[in-house]
Amino acid sequence: MASTTAHKLAKGQKEISVSEFFEKNRQILGFDSLVKSLIMGVKEAVDNALDACEEARILPDLIVQIDRIDQREYRVTVEDNGPGIVSTSMPNVFGRLLYGSRFHAVRQSRGQQGIGISATIMYGQITTGKAATVRSKVYGAEAAKEIDIIIDTKKNRPILLREDFIPWNEVPHGTRVSFYMNGRYVNGKQSVPEYLRQTAIVNPHASITLIDPDGKEYYFKRATEQMPPPTKEIKPHPDGIELGTLMNMIKATKERSLVKFLQKDFNRISERVAKEICAAANMPETTRPSTFTLETSKQLLEGMGKVKIMAPQVDCLSPIGDQLIRKGLKHVLDNVRPEFYAPPVTRDPKVHSGNPFLIEVGIVYGGDLPKDSPVQIYRFANRVPLLYQQGACVITKAIENTDWRRYGLEQRGGSGIPFGPAIILVHVASTKIPFTSEAKEAISSIPIIQEEIELALKACGRNLRTHLNKRERRAKTRSKFEIVQVILPLMAEKTARIVGKPVPDLKGTITKIMNIVWIDDSVTFEKGRHNVKVTVYNYTPKRQRFNLHTVLPEGCLDEVTCKPHPAEVRADGKISWELPYIPSTDTYEITFSLDGLDADEFDETNLYISGINPIDVMGADPLPGDWDVAGVDFTEVEAPAQAAEEEEEPDYDEEGEELEDE
* Residue 395 binned pLDDT confidence (cut-offs 50, 70, 90): very high
pLDDT of residue 501: 87
* Residue 651 binned pLDDT confidence (cut-offs 50, 70, 90): very low
Q: pLDDT at residue 260 above 60?
A: yes
Report the alpha-carbon distance of residue 544 to residue 3 in Å, rounded.
100
* Residue 66 binned pLDDT confidence (cut-offs 50, 70, 90): very high
Give me the numbers of helices (H) and strands (E) for the chain, helices first please.
14, 24
pLDDT of residue 398: 94
pLDDT of residue 121: 86
Q: pLDDT at residue 87 above 70?
A: yes
Q: pLDDT at residue 627 above 70?
A: no
The helix (H) or strand (E) run that includes residue 453 is: helix 447-499
In this prediction, residues 143-172 reach a mean pLDDT of: 88
Considering only residues 12 and 5, tell me which one the structure prediction assigns the higher pLDDT: 5
- Judge residue 159's burial from the number of C-beta atoms within 10 Å of its C-beta, 0-12 exposed, 13-18 middle, 19 or more buried: middle
Q: pLDDT at residue 649 above 60?
A: no
Report the alpha-carbon distance of residue 211 to residue 214 in Å, rounded.
8
pLDDT of residue 104: 45
- Do the beta carbons of residue 460 and residue 342 sit within 8 Å? yes
Which sign, positive or negative, has the C-alpha torsion 565, 566, 572, 573?
A: positive
Q: pLDDT at residue 212 above 70?
A: yes
Q: pLDDT at residue 19 above 60?
A: no
Considering only residues 269 and 106, tell me which one the structure prediction assigns the higher pLDDT: 269
In this prediction, residues 267-295 reach a mean pLDDT of: 89
Q: Are strands 340-346 and 350-352 parallel, antiparallel or unpaired?
A: unpaired
Q: Are strands 157-166 and 174-182 parallel, antiparallel or unpaired?
A: unpaired
At 444 the three-state DSSP class reads: coil
Q: What is the pTM of this model?
A: 0.73
At 257 the three-state DSSP class reads: coil
Of all residues in the chain, what percent carry a pLDDT higher than 70? Answer: 84
* Residue 40 binned pLDDT confidence (cut-offs 50, 70, 90): confident
Report the alpha-carbon distance of residue 384 to residue 429 in Å, rounded.
10
DSSP state of 26: G
Lowest mean pLDDT among 35-39, 149-153, 191-195, 472-476: 472-476
* Residue 379 binned pLDDT confidence (cut-offs 50, 70, 90): very high
Considering only residues 459 and 313, tell me which one the structure prediction assigns the higher pLDDT: 459
* Residue 643 binned pLDDT confidence (cut-offs 50, 70, 90): very low
DSSP state of 419: B
* Residue 122 binned pLDDT confidence (cut-offs 50, 70, 90): confident
Sequence letter at residue 471: R
Q: Name the range with the highest mean pLDDT among 302-311, 478-487, 629-638.
A: 302-311
Report the alpha-carbon distance of residue 300 to residue 416 in Å, rounded.
42
At 249 the three-state DSSP class reads: helix
* Residue 330 binned pLDDT confidence (cut-offs 50, 70, 90): confident
In this prediction, residues 468-475 reach a mean pLDDT of: 78
pLDDT of residue 575: 84
Nearest to 310 by CA among 270, 360, 358, 362: 270
Span 25-35, pLDDT tens digits: 566 666 778 88
What is the residue-averaged pLDDT of the chain?
Answer: 81
Q: pLDDT at residue 569 above 80?
A: no
* Residue 636 binned pLDDT confidence (cut-offs 50, 70, 90): very low
DSSP H helices, 351-446, are 394-401
* Residue 76 binned pLDDT confidence (cut-offs 50, 70, 90): very high
pLDDT of residue 644: 35
Backbone angles phi, psi at 104, to 5 degrees: -90, -5
Q: pLDDT at residue 23 above 80?
A: no
Domain architecture of the chain: domains with CATH: 18-220 (3.30.565.10), 243-306 (1.10.8.50), 318-468 (3.30.230.10), 507-647 (2.60.40.1170)
Backbone angles phi, psi at 644, to 5 degrees: -55, 140
Nearest to 549 by CA among 495, 470, 602, 628: 628
Residues 6+ apart with CB under 8 A from 290: none
Span 483-534, pLDDT tens digits: 777 788 888 888 888 888 888 877 777 777 778 888 888 888 887 788 888 8
- Cα 591 from chain centroid? 34
Span 408-453, pLDDT tens digits: 899 887 788 999 899 999 999 888 888 887 777 889 999 999 999 9
Q: pLDDT at residue 465 above 70?
A: yes
- Do the beta carbons of residue 597 and residue 555 sit within 8 Å? yes
* Residue 12 binned pLDDT confidence (cut-offs 50, 70, 90): low
pLDDT of residue 107: 55
